[in-house]
Amino acid sequence: MRKIILLLLLIISSTSVFSQRYVNEQLSKEIPVPNYRLAAKYSPENLAKLVHSTTVKPHWLKNSNRFWYQYKTTEGSNYYLVDADKKVKTLLFNNEKMAKWLTEITKDPYDAKHLPKFKFEFVKNETAIRFRITATEEVEVVEESEEEVKIDSTETVKKVNKKPKMEKKVYHFEYRLGDNKLTVIDNKKEEKNIKKWANIAPDSSIVLYSKNYNLYWMNKENFLKAVKDEKDTTIIEHQWTKDGVENFGYGGESRGENNETKEEKKDDRKTIWGIWSRDSKKFVFQKRDLRNIKDLWVINSVSKKRPTLETYKYHMPGEQEYYKNELQVFDIPSKGVVKVKLDTIKQQSISVYRAPIKKANLDNKFKPALLLSKKNKIYFNTISRDRKKLDICVADINTGDVTILIKERFNTYIESKNLVLFNNEQEMLHWSERDGWAHFYLYDTKGNFKKQITQGSYHVDDFINIDEKERILYFTANGVNKSQDPYYAHLYRINLNGTGLRSINVGDYNTSISMSDSNKYFVSSYSRVNTIPKSELRDNKGNVVMHLETADLSQLFTTGYKFPEPFKMKADDGITDIYGVMYKPYDFDATKVYPLIEYVYPGPQTEAVAKSFSIRMNRTDRLAQIGFVVVTLGNRGGHPNRSKWYHNYGYGNLRDYGLADKKYVAEQLADKFPFIDINKVGIFGHSGGGFMSTAAMLVYPDFFKVAVSSSGNHDNTIYNSWWSETHHGVKEEMDEEGEISYKYKIDVNQELANNLKGHLLLVTGDVDNNVHPGSTIRMADALIKANKRFDFMLMPGQRHGYGKMTEYFFWLKADYFSKYLLRVEAVNIDMLEMSRDKPKG
């Protein structure tokens, strides 16, 4: 059939030499046969057996420049202790000996390659580790063996024996580093003394929580009772506020609960989020009034009993109602309350700056949120509803008086990062894109500008650390080295006077880093999509202290795996560089012609283009194995880690802004690679990618032939206001009376339903409380009214991600592209590749 069609094309286009050449070339090539077996080989379950650790994740210790880490290869897991000062890396313990000790003590068999998963606590000035192991042996639970039973109101109480309750035995071990034995400390289970509802003061003296939308508190003694038994009737709890109501209260949110469980748990203790002063005497809480925000609903039809309704507040773009925010300061000793003096009528968002958590404290179970300032000050920012006005402010924690320190204004939208205080809180670092690139600016804490520290056509991404004594700033950035992919992140240092900029983990790779709290060392893990990941330890001048690990990909390569190929093309303007990655079948044959499929996500907060090696293949590598060339690529208006111009390109045109680049790059790839069939281009994506892939089918209906669009925000008028109003824009208007209103207009996919020519599969979860299923249903409604054939799949009981149905969805997508791009339809009722290798019960 294909040859007949091509011969007809040859006759029709006989006047064109170019067309004759094209048809002759296509006739000489074959279309690949769908290779489902190869795609099944790289399921997430199978990949977990092939690839293990790919980066070093250091656990920095508190009292030295040491850290430990676990690294897993095809030979099992090893645990290492690294002393950066001494440049020494040793095994934390000998696996053979540990297996022997555990076997002897617990009577359960272990060997060096199959040790249990450890959770270590360093003790005794970091000279020993403690951990727990649960054995298979069952022991009797230590508790009363008799129970009192009351017969009626007149008879006395008698005792009856209970059947002993059994549980698996727990061993609490201690191992002194370098010792030749393992010691059992006790057989107590780990105390779960942190309740989800408890917001514990930094000094543990008081616990705050929410109950019936009001603020409650209890002291440490009563909290310890609650840890043992939440229903203990002797617990004394105190109600602090009485004005809290649903949607304008003090904690107690129930997002994600259906209306039935919400009613059942209405009197439970619940979380209250807030930030503590360092001395535990103040608690800062942001109270939000959501009462005027309209409700939204989803129904779970596959819940355990009857279908359940879930009701939640959801603000849509252009709605005049908005969240009303206020900051309150609760004084712990006096139980007084002070309101921060803000205009609560103004439509704006508020964000209180928090103190960063030290690397050595990341493993702590107890990590209370602390105010940025160690003094009696609350640093926070306000952002106007249209996101064009940012004010960085400071409030007196005792009086609530507010001072504006820094003002930022822009015509699109303003991004913000954490504020950095240093030099005994006399100076601060502010991150801004005010000159078109993201940079750090130095101010004093009265708001006086001192200096722009970093400058140039590159993007400062994040603050890492600061050496106050030497006045050196450490930060990550993109695009400093113009010869590299601008998305590759590196660690830099610069003097606070703006001199001495240098990269301290150079290399043509994308890197991720973890720096010690002392600033002296950092672990750098690096790779590209086409290299084996490696990790090393460097000092703060960039010198390599030692190589740590090289990922073990031996088993992966044995299966026939091949790296994808990065590429660079031009955007539709012929000027802007667009970066992408090409994924080919591992049985690629250059004599065949392959359909091209684009995996897309429009951003603008990110781009779906991998920069480091990854085994998360479901959306790219794995789909290519069916018989496609799959590509991911950026687009103008995408990733924020380039210029402000690039990031904001789509402002005001949130539907179509990225499509021209997707089309033009595909055409360039087909011109460069003869194995790509430009007449068979498919496209797919999830969420924003679902929206974008459908838009591509409707804006360029003669170019994109097949799309699988999952959980797409096709109608951005009903998506959340933060994303839509930020990245597309909302217009603030004032009438003659001074009343402000907000105007929002955006193109939606269903407006173009009449344009559909190709094959479109729409998919959504029915309890998606992020991108509401109504967005996909509206798209379906428009297609039906336009008399279009299309396909639709509902994922029952699934939210924005498809959970346990993710694998099913992969094969649904594979079937769809196979049917319409390779002309081979899967007709077996069973999803064979999901069950072929499973053991049968």
Question: What is the mean pLDDT for each group of 10 consecutive residues in the chain (841 residues)?
Answer: 48 45 56 94 93 97 96 96 98 97 96 94 95 94 54 50 83 96 93 83 96 96 92 95 96 88 91 97 97 96 91 95 95 97 93 96 92 96 97 98 98 96 98 98 98 98 97 98 96 98 97 97 98 98 98 96 97 97 97 97 90 91 97 94 95 92 98 97 97 98 98 96 93 87 94 98 97 98 98 97 95 97 93 83 72
pLDDT at 304: 83
Residues whose CB falls within 8 Å of the CB of residue 633, separated by 6 or more in sequence, listed in order: 569, 578, 579, 580, 581, 598, 609, 661, 662, 665
List, in order of start, the domains of the chain with CATH numbers.
1-30 (no CATH), 36-47+556-729+740-835 (3.40.50.1820), 59-186 (no CATH)
Cβ neighbour number for residue 223 with a 10 Å cutoff: 21
Q: Which residues contact 258 (CB under 8 A, 6 or more apart)?
A: 300, 303, 308, 309, 310
Tokens 């539907």: give the residue: 655
| DSSP assignments along 617-629, one per residue | -TTTHHHHTTT-E
pLDDT at site 52: 96
Strand pairing of 791-795 and 759-765? parallel
Q: Are 55 and 533 in contact (CB under 8 A)?
A: yes
Q: What does DSSP say about strands 676-686 and 594-599: parallel, antiparallel, or unpaired?
A: parallel
Give the pair of three-digit tokens for residue 719: 């998506």
Strand pairing class (199-200; 66-73) = unpaired
pTM: 0.92
Q: Token digits for 84?
A: 């950066």
Amino acid at 558: T
pLDDT digits 0-9 by tens, 24-48: 455 457 899 999 999 999 999 999 9
Can you tell me the distance from the alpha carbon of 491 to that of 474, in angstroms, rounded to the nearest whole number?
Answer: 7
Find tokens 């004759």 and name the residue.
20
Tell me the β-bridge partners of 537: 523, 546
Residues with Cβ within 8 Å of residue 730, at least 6 apart in sequence: 317, 318, 385, 386, 721, 724, 742, 743, 744
Position 470, amino acid: E
Paired tokens of 137: 């042996």
pLDDT value of position 155: 53
Q: Single out the residue of 32, 11, 57 nearest to residue 623, CA to CA.
A: 32
The helix/strand/coil state of 99 is: helix
Q: φ and ψ at 58, to 5 degrees?
A: -75, 140
| Residue in 102, 66, 60 with CA at minimum distance from that of residue 86 | 66
At 761, which helix (H) or strand (E)? strand 759-765
